[in-house]
Structure 1
Amino acid sequence: MASPAPTPRPGDQLASATGTTRVIVIRAPQMADGPIECGGSPMVPAAQAPAPAPAGDAPGALIGKRYVDAADTLELLCTASGSGPLTYAGQPLTIKAPKALPASD
């Protein structure tokens, strides 16, 4: 199994080592505080990902949703849904709320 990238960079494509989840890094901190994980396993570069395992029953990432950490320093875009929660440095990532559009009068 390939080791994950030590510091994620915008544009990196990551895949779950144990499931079907795939993400693209939209925004990343200057220095990584820990690994990006899916279902408790570190994510690996998508080009080096093993064949996806069947999805389980655990709630996981949803395709098309953006996920952010509590400090809003890391943002991921889910490109393939799968089982297992997304975490960064041991903390769960949450779905980013959509921006409100300005009202037109």
Structure 2
Amino acid sequence: MKPGTKLKSAVCDTEVMVIRSGAGTIECGGSAMGEAKPETVGTPAADFSAGTLMGKRYVDAAGNFELLCVKPGKGSLSVDGVALSPKDAKPLPASD
């Protein structure tokens, strides 16, 4: 998957833009995400229902995946069943 690709959730309103990706399936709410909006929306799996926040970047522990949330929803992001976490902001340099 190339950077700039927009993915839509099959179980909620979440939409993300791919910033960086590796090998694996990007999921939201426990279901695979796709480029087309699904006709019927399911419900997020209980384990993946923490939700997403607009404007936040989500990354995996290895740093292979980075997704930018462009539309929030009820499902949480994962890759092959492993949850992604929000990326921490870089600290500003101290001004003395």
TM-score above 0.5: yes
**Aligned pair 1:50/2:41, yes or no?**
no
CA deviations on 1:38-70 (whole Å, 9 max, x unpaired) are 01110001xx21257498793211111100001
With normalisation by structure 1, the TM-score equals: 0.78
**Aligned equivalents of 1:19, 1:76: Cα separation in 2:** 16
User: Is the CA contact (8 Å cut-off) linking 1:21 and 1:81 kept in structure 2?
Assistant: yes
User: Is the CA contact (8 Å cut-off) linking 2:6 and 2:15 kept in structure 1?
Assistant: yes
With normalisation by structure 2, the TM-score equals: 0.85
**Aligned pair 1:20/2:13, yes or no?**
yes
**Aligned pair 1:38/2:28, yes or no?**
yes
Percent identity over the alignment is: 49
In structure 1, runs of 5+ residues without a counterpart are 1-7
RMSD of aligned alpha carbons: 2.1
